[in-house]
Structure 1
Amino acid sequence: ELVKQSTLLDKLKSLKYEELVQVLPTTVSDTLLSSLLEQMAVAGQSLVVRQKEYGPGHAEIIKLKSQIEDLQDRITKRVAGILTSLEARAAAVETNLVLLQAEVDKATANDLDNARRWRPYFDKKRELEELQRFRQILTMKIASEKVDSSLPKSALVEIMDAAAPPLRPAAPNRPRATALIALGVLLDLAGWLLVRWRPMPNPLG
């Protein structure tokens, strides 16, 4: 906006007055200037017509010339006012731009200062987050180790042959049992005889 206003103002100032009067209405919308220029055109045409009808010293001619001079003066002042308005507008835009730039510079400085002041906090926060992630991984690792340690590593008893029922039921060995019983009875009888026939000790001798 500032570049646009400055460029327009510089171009208008470079024009001659006659050119400026013709260009300005098409560049800047101003109803008063347009009205004055229309009145000026009508008065100029009337002067040409009246000069043919009356002499130069006629009162109507003098009146028209006075009217044209007044319109010319008003147009000149209006053009000057428009240029002043454009200059003021350009100056206002420039001032706003300077203020805006100052605010941007201040905000940038504040951001940099805040970044410097908050950097230790964010560094510590990042370290804390890394420690928390490490703790989580370590906790999962410990839990996994506990689960692994609770599972049997291998069978304590090695099974050589698979157990299988006998093809036919085993019958008791009766002769062997009878012999063992008889042997037991004989041993008991021998013991009793030894006790029975053992000589008694002589208390006198």
Structure 2
Amino acid sequence: MKPPVINFSTLQAAVEVTATLAFALSGLLAGARKQLDVVGLCVVAGLSAFGGGTLRDVLLDRRPFFWVEHADWLWGLMGLCLAAMLGMRRRHLALTERAIQWPDALGLGLFTANGTLVALDAGMPAIVAVLMGVITAVFGGVLRDIVCNEIPAAFHDHRPYALCSFVGGWVLVAAVSLEAPQWAAISAAAATAVLLRGLALWTGWTLPAWRIGTRR
């Protein structure tokens, strides 16, 4: 039996699945902190996992939506939520909250690369493609925090988040313009965003806050 051929479609699906899982976990954590029931957990996890990609597809007029094209992911999401309801315990919540930052960083990088590449394939200019990558990577978390009645962490957590995605998107654009293999372009872009986010988490690197009318 011949091994499966790893083409772009296979790679893109693997990237989307991994990133979707990472952001679904972050949504589960946020919902658990708010003590939501199983319906609430599924909604928040779904917004985290699918919100950014859905907005990207709407803006690019791309049909079907990526989660409609891969409808099995919806069953996986519901199964993950049910498993979390059965297995999550309050005494583990603080540890999980810290640990989820690293899978979240992985999801950020993968969705950045995937979203930017989807936009380039749709014929978008480079700057638009990069912004589509940022939207794909960031907007799901924004929706998650809004539904959980919090200021989106992407806006008030001064450790770079969207900026990491923005830089990673330009790495992918550069790699594509240099005619690098698609797997190499995706890997370079995702690694750049993940490493920048990881550096911010590890070192406490923050962006300056804008303050008006404060006295020294």
Calculate the TM-score normalised by the size of structure 2: 0.22
Bigger Cα Rg = 1
- Larger RCO of the pair (alpha carbons < 8 Å, separation 6+): 2
